[in-house]
Amino acid sequence: MGLLTMFTTSDVLQVAATVCATGAALGCLYLVFVGFSVLRFRRGEAAAAPVSVPVSILVPLCGSEPGLAARLRALRDQSYSGATEIICGTLDPNDPAIEVVRQVAAETNDGRLVCHVDPHVAGQNLKVANISNFAKHAKHEMLVLIDSDIVVGADYLAGVVAELQRPGVGAVTCLFYGIRGESLWSRVAAMGVNVHFLPNVIGGLTLGLARPCFGATIALTRDILWRIGGFPAFADQLWDDYAIGDAIRGAGYTVAVAPFAVGHVQTEATARQLAENQVRLGCTIKSIDPLGHAGSVITYPLPLALAALAFGSGGDALALAMVALACRIGVAWCVEHRFAVRPDSYLLIPLRDVASFVSYLASFFVFTVTWRGQRYRLSDQTLIVDSSR
């Protein structure tokens, strides 16, 4: 009799239930740790006063996103005493965002907000191609890259510049929280950022495992950018922001994480858009850190507990699921308290957890992603246009 035939279906289900329950229990402990890490994240640090040097803010555009005008005004009206300019850019001469920029610029007519159009594309990453085109128009040595869907407060620029002026710092990035829209899927996406992504990054920083650099903000000097090869060096990178941060660290500098977070507007209108964005994120993380991505399974204690319940663990698994849900709600409260995030209904958390887990599993079997309407094949951390469609 073979070894496999010695195990009955019941035995296999019992082993699966035990593995899932163990993972869920470890995940609950992890969430407790993460919650405390969020509350303690750079708490009580005295804000550094920046030397008010001139700054060029670079904003890549792609379509007229809801609320774009308000976000541009927030960048324009910073409580920063140094000279600033806001340079936007797009590849499409018919991009409706161009008119939005013109309208906001006309409100002050001081020449500080401009938009450049250049359809030239070098490399597979269209965002990097866009930035590379219009960044050459920047007048100042200090550059702040920020995505067009990011919401900032009045002290944002002063805080970023102060961090960049610390000894040994080559770039500054910002954590971000999700800002929900009107659709259910936008709300689910925002909750995913707030109760999964953001606390996981902070947990990784606390453990010394995370090396973040996000498009929500990348501040650096022109000299540092030149040292790492400029934007063309990242023309084919899937996650260009991470690659820029990695290159800066490779050049002997640190990438500082600002003590505050900015808002990221979630615009997902359909379940498909949500799924595509989540799977793309999972695939990117997998390409950067395959072992870490696999090990992050314990960050999903509620789905693991439900799986243990489905495999026949009974009341113990049900109790574990309730504990996991309570821990996740606790993490959500910690994020809301630490970063003044607008709370959403905790009733969405079970849906969010299950959706995140499904996307996580899918990331191991997906080798193409959709980004800005273009489909790409993944090769290591680079993009290759998928011509099979």
Query: Which residue in the block uniquely carries the two structure tokens 């993380």?
Result: 285
User: Into how many domains does the chain fold?
Assistant: 2
d(CA 322, CA 183): 27
Tell me: do 168 and 77 sit in the same domain: yes
Q: Find the CATH number of the domain harbouring 148.
A: 3.90.550.10
- Between CA 383 and CA 376 the distance in angstroms is 6
Note whether 56 and 222 are within 8 A (CB): no
Residue 50 included in any domain? no
Q: Do 147 and 86 lie in a common domain? A: yes
Which is it for strands 55-60 and 142-145: parallel, antiparallel or unpaired? parallel
Q: How many whole angstroms from its chain centre is CA 309?
A: 32
Full pLDDT tens readout for the chain, 389 residues: 454 455 677 777 788 888 999 999 999 999 999 999 999 998 877 667 788 899 999 999 988 788 999 999 999 999 998 999 999 999 999 999 999 999 999 999 888 999 999 999 988 888 999 999 999 999 999 999 999 999 999 999 999 999 999 999 999 999 999 998 888 889 999 999 999 999 999 999 999 888 999 999 999 999 999 999 999 999 888 788 999 999 999 999 999 999 999 999 998 888 888 888 888 888 778 877 888 888 889 999 999 999 988 887 667 889 999 999 999 999 999 999 999 898 888 998 998 899 889 888 888 887 676 666 566 666 555 545 444 44
Structural domain of 292: 8-42+281-385
Same structural domain for residues 99 and 183? yes
Same domain, 285 and 259: no
Q: Evaluate whether residue 301 is within a structural domain.
A: yes
100 and 156 together in one domain: yes
Separation CA 140–CA 223 (nearest Å): 11
CA distances from 174 to 15, 247, 354 (A): 42, 17, 27
Burial grade of 370 (CB within 10 A; 0-12, 13-18, 19 or more):
middle
